[in-house]
Chains A and B, each alone.
Chain A
């Protein structure tokens, strides 16, 4: 999940209108931003459209970025806003976002996978469904903390939520996710789940 940092001066060059420098920023952050949006909207085509919008808005507003060291947090903030606007619009349109079987996890017909890969597919599908079941705030903090390894402070800057709320949402999100993936965690976890309920509340 870790990427090499951008070379010094890249952001300044991009601010000056250097398209190549902005391309480097896209190469560095395109994957995490696209994946983050996909975690939120659960639709690849829509996620790609929104990621594109995110980078266009970032280019337009790059001059407003005060601290280059916070570029990642800033980009995730824009991505979150773009995704939120889309989800609001979707709700207004009364169209439900979310797929019973996420596209990225659909098995191609006739495709035969080794046993381990089948298990991975099954587990991934379980996690994807569990993510879908989380409410928006919990899914947001879970994605930023667990997948993108952001600090509470960064997540607070991205979402505007207090750190206390973030911790509560994350703890509850993990508890909900755990219930879904418990069978994959082994016997010890299942037993512990029963004897130490406060851990899994």
Chain B
């Protein structure tokens, strides 16, 4: 069947790396060696089918979401549609906005179904699905700019918190953004929901019509982009303190709304070194850059 996919342990002997086409997952599970092995095996088996499943309905997943559209077939695709549906009426958004989070969720679900784990995470390029058994916690490191990984802060997610998904969006990342945020990190109940919300909030961190911002229709950069001819940010020039403030304010208003609607738990928005936090989000800013042994560098 799938001869592209690569499945291997990373050099540390603890984390599993799953790669297929554009998908790269870093997976780590905690528990007895036997259970961890069972979880990795389940993750690997499930992973082999994921990309082909997604590509089977790619045209559908690249079209704007609407309440009338039929449900997709694949489990990952369904997670994607469910995550973006709350935004369908108000924004141009395609299920692709939640693809990374949805894949992370799906793989994590396969692991927790196959094994008893104290905790686990699946990190899909910065969009992370978490599993936390009673009393467990994970420390998450956040970076301000994905292209310059230095820790912006850490946040600790405890088992008693409702957060099980973390995602980051921004124009410097691998996907296109309509906004100018360097990064928007979202904590939500699930990874796909966090992924979709981060996209929406990052789009809202914006200065419409500002001359220092270079925007290009997405299809000119990637002809098959789901964003079609939407102008995506390619460069952000000099901004005044007022500009930064105004853009972050617009993003924060969006985040506040999503918070009140129960779609997210908290969010951190970064632009030109300024950070806004909406909701309760860990220990910000941090002074020490050492991350707990179980910490994840979030890039």
Partners in one complex: no
